[in-house]
Amino acid sequence: MMALTPESAVAVVMLLALTVYALLGGADFGAGVWDLVARGPRADAHREMIAHAIGPVWEANHVWLIIVVVLLFTGFPAAFAAIMTALHVPISLMLVGIVLRGSAFTFRNYDPSPEAGKRWNRRFAIPSVLTPVLLGVVIGAIATGRLPTQIVRLDQLFLPWLGRFPIAVGLFTLSIFAYLAAVYLILETADTALREDFRIRALIAAVTVGILAYAVYVLARSDAPLVFRGLKASRWGFPVRIATGACACAALWGLWTRRYGLARTTAVIQVALILWGCALAQAPYLVPPALTIASAAAPPAVQKLLLAAVGAGSIVLFPSLYYLFRVFKAHALASRAPGHRVEH
Amino acid sequence: LAGSRAFDINPIAALLNAATLSETLHMILASYAATGILVAAVHAYYLRRDRANAFHRRALGIGLAVGGLASIVQPFSGDFAAKVVARTQPVKLAAMEGQFRTERRAPLRIGGWPDPVARRTRYALEIPGGLSFLATGDLSAEVRGLDAFPRADQPPVRVVHVAFQLMVACGVLMALEALWGAVLAWKLRRVPDTPRFLLAVLIAGPLGMIAIEAGWTVTEVGRQPWIVHGVMRTAQAVTPVPGLWISLLGYSALYVMLGVIVVAMLIRQFRSSPSAEELAAQTRGGRPA
């Protein structure tokens, strides 16, 4: 491992924030998939449930993405400039997706008409599915190590991320988020039929995650060689992969035997480990092959101030989030009392 | 700063720069003033149609109190901000005032149309020594004009001067509205609601928002051509991504769309607010809607 310099501490904070964003915000986007594919007699019930589950926590969950972006541009301005320039198009599209989906929730709450839910959900379901794909595409494109350092032609804005590896990572990301969403949604309701629906969806998604993970792994060998070598070289790589696989199996088993609390815990750890595995493989690069954590970093004075600010911010952030989730998510978190009926 | 690289960075010092206090104070007051005046206008509109409505009457009172107080204090904070600008960014002050020549007893110009070719500001009402006094507190002090700076370092004077005049005009009208309201409230001993005053409040509604936009135009266009004053020009800082106008149009269209939806929804919210009779019926029946 590298020495704990202020800039690597900031990088670790960024990774943690990205992990929490994937686990909370990611699931919000993943639920959009289940909104889009809702069919059959309980389709409207699905949509209602999804909107109720996400609405109150949507904005709070985006705090984490904002932390990642702010830390990147203050802590690692060179990396920020490289990423924002080369990936201007997918990042802009992702931003539009986030804005549209967030607005849909707000508008839905202030729209007094009876068909409000339907109107706003349907209109914004598509962006909600494309956004995680774009997030994955951005991460995948960075990992290829082929971002242009200078943009002189228009096609350079598209070629780096419209490759098979970035798109595979994009679909992988979407499948992870949909999987998390299905696993969480089971515990959002006490209705047995709805629980079964989302159990089936979670199982399908889990298998899809496995298949796409393998596809990404295979493609990485040729398309993201630097990161692929990093995964092999890191002595943490192997144990992390074993632990990820174990969690995946435990989550599948939990879903199969209807131990939903267990399934959720292990799915959360599994997704966090996937992210950390990718981060380990890419370390110490921020934007391979040119920028590392050390070479892209702002001066230590800035890093130390950032760490202090993050520390001070946490004092406000964590109690507020705890309160928010206690108010809106107490029913889902108390997974051990499945007989308890929740009124929305 | 060594060449193009910054060293010995002190981020706290950057936050506590010369303009921090005056600019933050000015903007915070502006938000209260603009919001209060706008809220008052909405309720003035409904109170004109439904004079017995207690809800709109009280809401008008709150809007006027918050917006009016901030509007009355705001000119003092503006004077403070202008003195800071005079000290730290004299070229911006010169553009704000349409001051081309460096002179003693520089006049304060009200209105006017700067002519960057002839290097003078036409059609302005000039108060002799006014600018010298406002910038330094001394009627005969020298104020540096645009011509004291290289042509390449001068901001687009027309935009800055006109935006500044617009902001000040809106601010003055809002302060007058607030004073008028205060006098009426004192005389009537209640929320001021004479028909003429309500009409004025209604018409004055957008002034605060216009003033904020104009003010941001002054400060952001006024600092051109620099993005980091004296260090980096805006043209050097812009992203090398080609086809940026597509992004610009895309984001603008997105936010125009969201803005239209928000306004439509706000209007619907206003319309669903109960009238005086409905309020009375609810109170009598003891059953909230």
B9 with A301: Cβ contact below 8 A: yes
Residue-wise pLDDT tens digits, A170-197: 999 999 999 998 998 888 888 888 888 8
Chain B positions in Cβ-Cβ contact with residue A84 (cut-off 8 Å): 239
Residue-wise pLDDT tens digits, A34-76: 888 887 788 888 888 887 787 777 777 888 889 889 888 888 8
Phi, psi of B109 (to 5 degrees): -100, 130
Percent of chain A at pLDDT above 70?
Answer: 91
Contact A116, A66 (CB under 8 A): no
Least confident of A20-24, A47-51, A111-115, B274-278: A111-115
Chain B positions in Cβ-Cβ contact with residue A301 (cut-off 8 Å): 9-11
The per-residue pLDDT for A336 is 47
Please say if the pLDDT value at position A342 is more than 60: no
Contact B181, B197 (CB under 8 A): yes
A299 with B258: Cβ contact below 8 A: no
Interface of B with A in 233-272 (CB under 8 A): 239-243, 247, 250-251, 254, 258, 261, 265, 268-269, 272
The per-residue pLDDT for B285 is 58
Give the mean model confidence (pLDDT) for residues A236-259. 88
How much is the pTM?
0.79
B11 with A96: Cβ contact below 8 A: no
Residue of B nearest to A74 (CA): B11
Chain A positions in Cβ-Cβ contact with residue B250 (cut-off 8 Å): 92, 96
Best mutation site among A87, A110, A159 for testing chain B: the one with the most B CBs within 10 Å?
A110
Best mutation site among A92, A149, A310 for testing chain B: the one with the most B CBs within 10 Å?
A92
B9 with A298: Cβ contact below 8 A: yes
The per-residue pLDDT for B256 is 93
Angle at A125 between CA A120 and CA A126, to 5 degrees: 130
The per-residue pLDDT for B274 is 78
pLDDT-derived band at A339 (thresholds 50, 70, 90) equals very low
Residue-wise pLDDT tens digits, A204-227: 999 999 999 899 888 888 888 888
Please say if the pLDDT value at position A323 is more than 90: no
Chain A positions in Cβ-Cβ contact with residue B261 (cut-off 8 Å): 103, 107
The per-residue pLDDT for B289 is 41
Chain B positions in Cβ-Cβ contact with residue A92 (cut-off 8 Å): 247, 250-251
ipTM entry: 0.71
B241 with A151: Cβ contact below 8 A: yes
By Cβ distance, the residue of A84, A110, A299 closest to B9 is: A299
Q: Locate the DSSP E strands across A19-143.
A: none
User: How large is the angle between the packed helices A300-333 and A6-36, nearest 10 degrees?
Assistant: 30
Q: How many CB pairs under 8 A join A and B?
A: 48
The per-residue pLDDT for B243 is 76
Chain A positions in Cβ-Cβ contact with residue B258 (cut-off 8 Å): 99, 103
The per-residue pLDDT for A118 is 67
> Distance, in angstroms, between B265 CA and closest chain A CA?
7
Give the mean model confidence (pLDDT) for residues A78-96. 86
pLDDT-derived band at A341 (thresholds 50, 70, 90) equals very low
The DSSP code sequence of chain B is -BTTB--S--HHHHHT-TTHHHHHHHHHHHHHHHHHHHHHHHHHHHHHH-TT-HHHHHHHHHHHHHHHHHHHHHHHHHHHHHHHHHHH-HHHHHHHHT--S-EESPPEEES-EEETTTTEEES-EEETTHHHHHHHS-TT-EE--GGGS-GGG---HHHHHHHHHHHHHHHHHHHHHHHHHHHHHHHHSSS---HHHHHHHHHHTTHHHHHHHHHHHHHHHHTTTEEETTTEEHHHHS---S-HHHHHHHHHHHHHHHHHHHHHHHHHHHHTSPPHHHHHHHHHHT---
**Residue with more model confidence, B42 or A121:** B42
CB of B4 within 8 Å of any CB in chain A?
Answer: no
The per-residue pLDDT for B16 is 66
Chain A positions in Cβ-Cβ contact with residue B251 (cut-off 8 Å): 92, 96
Residue-by-residue pLDDT tens, chain B, 289 positions: 555 555 566 667 666 677 778 888 889 899 999 999 999 999 899 888 888 888 888 889 999 889 988 998 898 888 888 888 888 888 888 888 888 888 888 888 888 888 887 778 778 778 888 888 888 888 788 888 888 888 888 888 888 888 988 999 999 999 999 899 889 888 888 888 888 888 988 988 899 999 999 989 988 888 887 887 777 788 777 877 777 888 889 899 999 998 998 888 888 888 887 777 777 777 665 544 4
Residue-wise pLDDT tens digits, B194-245: 888 889 889 888 999 999 999 899 888 888 878 877 777 887 778 777 778 8
Percent of chain A at pLDDT above 90?
Answer: 8
Chain A positions in Cβ-Cβ contact with residue B268 (cut-off 8 Å): 111-112
**Residue with more model confidence, B150 or A340:** B150
Please say if the pLDDT value at position A296 is more than 80: no
Residue of A nearest to B7 (CA): A299
Residue of B nearest to A92 (CA): B247
